[in-house]
Amino acid sequence: MTHAPTPPLRLAIDTDALAGNWRWLNDQSGVADAGAAIKANAYGVGAAIAAPALRDAGARQFYLAHWGEVADILPHIPASEIAVLHGACHHEEASFARAHGVFPVVNSLAQAKIWVESGGGPCHLMVDTGINRIGLSVHECGAEIIRCLDVDMLMSHLASADEDSAMNAQQLRRFHDAAGQIAHKRLSLANSAGIMLGAEYHFAATRPGLSLYGGIARPEMAPHIAQVVYPESAVLQKRRIEAGESVGYNATFTARAPMDIAVINLGYADGFLRSRGHGAHVTYGDAKLPILGRVSMDMIVIDITAAPFIKEGDWVQIPFNLLEIAAQSGLSQYELLTSLGLRFARDVKSG
Ligand SMILES: *Cc1c(COP(=O)(O)O)cnc(C)c1O
């Protein structure tokens, strides 16, 4: 089969901005080394582009959620710098980890047992200090099986680092308590937002994700974090409609006067959810082109009055300032990134 034609929707990934965001977060991490969370296809940005760019910027510790994410990363990152956050839940996962030299993050007594039984070796260990999601409970830290582990990084995860919550200091105290009980080489607590909580939260390693990719985890980051992802979509068809004609499913938009409209190759299957359509626009150069009617699975209709000469095949820009789009749509910045669909071509942004 010949190659598939170029997709009519694409993400331009600004790898200079990505590297700059990492460097800024690494600076803000003080004496700690910033790593990079690249789970979920690097938050939708595309791990094949993001992982090497972050490595070249200087990141030396990478976090995935699942074992299934490892294969795409191994060509770019040394196995010993990859941590799988969900840990080895059965022997098949433990032998995969050992075969490749990837580090599991042990999250429970059961996972500790599986890792030790499978032959063990260096691993990371997550303690739960209050998010009550995954991780060893603080009262389990003294367990016999935990003493059998060769813990490189002892870590915990903050629940409310993006808020000025008393919970942050409480989690910090519990983390110190755990660190006093478990032998380890390094400590790590902070995600993107946690980095901004100050030096006490930095330890040896920080674990930014969202803000690498342009997310503003806390307001004080906004002047320093640059947009990384620029989505674009090609015009599929143009048409002229008369006054009184409606657009899209359930006819939620009706033209008051004759108007020129266009259909673009983007829909909720690409992550542009229906909740993002209302009152939103795309752009073509300086022209703002309002979205009309419902977002469909694969198509969105736009008003091209402000760019009447736009042609089929021309590319329109999809606004993706994460803070603004999150406020407008009610979706989180994390959701906006990770829902970017697989139909987008992902390319390094030029110029
Ligand atoms: C996803 C994740 C991170 C990154 O968090 P951000 O809020 O995206 O910076 C850090 N640590 C753990 C354990 C994670 O699961």
Q: DSSP string spanning 128-170?
A: ESSS-SSSEEGGGTT-HHHHTSEEEEEE---SSTTS--HHHHH
Position of tokens 């980890």?
97
pLDDT tens for each residue of 257-277: 999 999 999 999 999 999 999
**Catalytic pick among 213, 249, 284, 288:** 249
Tokens of 105: 């993050």
Query: Do the beta carbons of residue 190 and residue 158 sit within 8 Å?
Result: yes
- 96: CA distance to ligand 1 center in Å? 23
pLDDT interval class at 350 (50, 70, 90) = confident
Check whether 1 has a pLDDT greater than 90: no
Measured between alpha carbons, how far is 211 from 290 in angstroms, rounded to an integer?
29
**Catalytic pick among 39, 201, 213, 284:** 39
Q: Which atom of ligand 1 is nearest to the CA of 191?
A: 9
pLDDT tens for each residue of 112-127: 999 999 999 999 999 9
Q: Is 146 left (phi over 0), alpha (psi -120 to 50) or beta?
A: alpha
Query: Do the beta carbons of residue 85 and residue 105 sit within 8 Å?
Result: yes
Q: Average pLDDT, stretch 99-110?
A: 98
Q: In the chain, what percentage of residues exceed pLDDT 70?
A: 100
pLDDT tens for each residue of 27-67: 999 999 999 999 999 999 999 999 999 999 999 999 999 99
pLDDT at position 166: 97
Check whether 145 has a pLDDT greater than 90: yes
pLDDT at position 2: 85
288 included as an active-site residue = no
- Rounded to the nearest 5 degrees, what angle is found at the Cα of 272, between the Cα atoms of 320 and 193? 50
Q: What is the largest CA-CA distance in the chain?
A: 77
Measured between alpha carbons, how far is 97 from 123 in angstroms, rounded to an integer?
10
Which runs of consecutive H residues, i.e. helices, occur in the chain?
Answer: 15-28, 39-43, 47-57, 70-73, 91-100, 109-117, 144-147, 166-181, 192-195, 322-329, 333-338
Measured between alpha carbons, how far is 320 from 9 in angstroms, rounded to an integer?
14
Query: Do the beta carbons of residue 80 and residue 100 sit within 8 Å?
Result: no
Tokens of 334: 């994390």
Q: Which atom of ligand 1 is nearest to the CA of 162?
A: 7
Position of tokens 């830290």?
141
Check whether 225 has a pLDDT greater than 90: yes
Nearest alpha-carbon partner for 129 in 109, 164, 157: 157
Check whether 168 has a pLDDT greater than 80: yes
Q: Is 179 helix (H, G, I), strand (E, B) or coil?
A: helix
Q: What is the mean pLDDT of the chain?
A: 97
DSSP label of 93: H
- 64: CA distance to ligand 1 center in Å? 10
- 11: CA distance to ligand 1 center in Å? 23
pLDDT interval class at 106 (50, 70, 90) = very high
Measured between alpha carbons, how far is 289 from 292 in angstroms, rounded to an integer?
9
Measured between alpha carbons, how far is 262 from 258 in angstroms, rounded to an integer?
14
249 included as an active-site residue = yes
Measured between alpha carbons, how far is 225 from 196 in angstroms, rounded to an integer?
13
